[in-house]
Amino acid sequence: MIRHGPTAMKREHDELHTALTLASYRGGRTAAAATEVTRLLRPHFIKEEAFVLPVLGVLPELAQGKVETVVPEVLNMVDRFAAEYEQMLADHKAIGAALKTLSAAATDEGKSEVLSLGRQLAVHAQMEEELAYPATLLVGRYLQAISAIPPRATS
């Protein structure tokens, strides 16, 4: 059965969302910018939690050679992600632009904790682009490759 994904990644999403929500109550341009980042980030996180995190959640089973019960579901999620991949990257660009606005506002208004949050979100997006997204596609390719290999005869 497919799990919801790596709990550390889900927890990070939750913590980033909570921190953004708190920043949106800080007043001034910082609050408005945090609200905009949240508006862009929420649907993006929903997509990731629907078809990126669950795929990454099967990595421990794949490492142990236990793939039979998850292959069709995982391949469907990978296909969905592949179809959304360019949009997910475009989301990151839009979120990145909104983060620059947030960082500028936080700097001008002396809200260093929000400035730190902006950096955390930028690093999070970079980690997804450099690790999580390629790993999601790689899981799909791996499963397709091994599903094309006939089972070995046991002696």
Is the Cα dihedral 44, 58, 134, 152 positive or negative? negative
Closest CA to 136 of 44, 55, 62: 55
**Minimal CA–CA distance to 30: which of 88, 97, 104?**
104
The mean per-residue pLDDT over the stretch 4-27 comes to: 93
Domain positions in the chain are 7-147
- For 82-139, the pLDDT digits (tens) are 999 999 999 999 999 999 999 999 999 999 999 999 999 999 999 999 999 999 999 9
Summarize pLDDT for 54-75 with one digit per residue, the tens.
999 999 888 888 776 667 888 9
